[in-house]
Amino acid sequence: MTLTPRRTAGTHNARFGFLTRFGILRRRPSKDLARFDAGTSFKMVGMSKTLAGARPVKLRKGEILILRRGMIHFAQGDPITFTLATGTRDTVTLRPPIGLALTDKKIPLGRRFGTFTLTTADGRHELAFPRQDEELFHRVVQQANELGR
């Protein structure tokens, strides 16, 4: 297991976005799967309205919950955690049994993200993460359910 978590293929920062756009660097989900099986730890960008506490925004006629961005950290044998990227950096551990189901909801300005319903021992949550990383996260969830942590 590596000390610094590796970004998944769908998680970009400005430098990797630039290198990918010009064809210098290509990240492949298949390589991420092989690296995960070899014991590499990963971090993946994720957004949720309900994990790590809801953030309501007041409007004229009521309130709405907004998406909060964070990082999902996972490694072989370790629990899956969601850490907020802003503010207090709250961390939530996802406890098994974990279920993951694709929904048809869309995210504004997020066409590369898929929206999923995440069911954990603590309740149901909506979670959005890059579609490119869907197969990897399914494997992570499956492993967490088998290990029970």
Q: Kindly list the averaged pLDDT for each block of 10 residues, start to end, along the chain of length 149.
A: 74 74 78 90 90 80 84 92 81 91 84 90 91 92 87
Which has the closest alpha carbon to 93: 79, 107, 104?
Answer: 79
The owner of tokens 């298949």 is: 30
Domain ranges in the chain are 45-147
Backbone phi, psi, residue 136, to 5° = -65, -45
Say what the pLDDT of residue 87 is.
65
Please state, in angstroms and as integers, the Cα–Cα distance from residue 126 to each residue in 13, 24, 26, 119, following that order. 23, 34, 29, 9
Say what the pLDDT of residue 68 is.
86
Say what the pLDDT of residue 74 is.
93
Say what the pLDDT of residue 44 is.
92
Looking at residue 111, its amino acid is R
CATH code reported for the domain at 45-147: 2.30.29
Compute the distance between CA of residue 81 and CA of residue 5 in angstroms, rounded to an integer: 13
Which has the closest alpha carbon to 8: 138, 130, 119?
Answer: 130
- For residue 26, give both structure tokens: 């290509």
Q: Where are the beta strands (DSSP E) in the chain?
A: 6-7, 42-48, 56-59, 62-65, 68-74, 80-84, 91-94, 99-102, 113-120, 123-130
Rounded to two decimals, the pTM is 0.83
